[in-house]
Amino acid sequence: MSIIQNFTKKIAAVAVAAAALSAAAAAVEARPLDVIKQSGEVVIGVFSDKAPFGYVDSQGKYAGYDVYFGDRLAKDLGVKVKYISVDPASRVEFLVTDKVDIILANFTVTKDRAEKVDFALPYMKVALGVVSPESAVITDVKQLDGKTLIIAKGTTAEPYFEKNHPKVKLQKYDQYTDAYNALLDGRGDAFSTDNTEVLAWALVHKGFKVGIPSLGDLDTIAPAVQKGNKGLLDWINQEIVNLGKENFFHQDYAATLAPVYGKTSNPDDLVVEGGKL
């Protein structure tokens, strides 16, 4: 082996070692269940701009379907709750770095995500939807070929369109608010995210319509914890089973989603009780 080849090999080894050290430093061990209880506070990551699932209301308080659930988790844990706002793309990072104990941010279960975090039992089911201006409504995904579709980074819409519809031009945003503003401003032809979300948004924004109410596979939404945090995961799973016995998630729907959807949606199309589909 030449001196140059040997030097190159050593540099590569150092780079690999440095990357491993960096990854190890970034990962922070999660707080186990007993530590959370002893601290008197559970930290939950939610959205702050995705009404009616997770948002900040006019009084500056977190509200929505996920927050209603989070409040109950804290109550049954016997602790106070601290909500932290997350972006779609930061949900995994916030768990890995122990910035939050639990993610309740409309987190769709996927194979890729399940390799990085541990998902509990589902409490909701969802597919993708596409909302667009009524003046040029998109009713078929083929109509998007060559057009600009707005998406939020880190959502299931991103890999779905990249894999299945490469002819669609994706315009990506970190925040849901920015994505919706882009649609309102006419910077894109349509916007795609969870169908439950776009249906709710279109109901309060005149001039827009969900022309594609269901796209792709029917997925589930579930709480997530840092990988390996078994005690907390087991507790959440049992909690979801217990809550199902009292029809809790239908109560959650009635309190947070029914005022938005009205009679346009059947709660059984969305709600999962006791973790059973």
Beta-bridge partner residues of 84: 45
Mean pLDDT in residue range 238-254: 97
Give the chain's radius of gyration (CA, Å): 21
Mean pLDDT in residue range 193-221: 93
Query: Is there a shared CATH topology between the 33-123+222-266 domain and the 126-219 domain?
Result: yes
pLDDT value for 22: 42
**Tens digits of residue pLDDT in 131-154:** 999 999 999 999 999 999 999 999
**Tens digits of residue pLDDT in 43-86:** 999 999 999 999 999 999 999 999 999 999 999 999 999 999 99
| Residue type at 135 in one-letter notation | S
pLDDT value for 116: 96
210 with 261: CB under 8 angstroms? no
pLDDT value for 68: 98
Phi, then psi, of 107 in degrees rounded to 5: -85, 105
Per domain, the residue ranges of the chain are 33-123+222-266, 126-219
Fold (CATH) for 33-123+222-266: D-Maltodextrin-Binding Protein; domain 2 (3.40.190)
Query: DSSP states of 200-257 as a string?
Result: HHHHTSTTEEEEEEEEEEEEEE--EEETT-HHHHHHHHHHHHHHHHTTHHHHHHHHHT
Q: What is the CATH number of domain 126-219?
A: 3.40.190.10
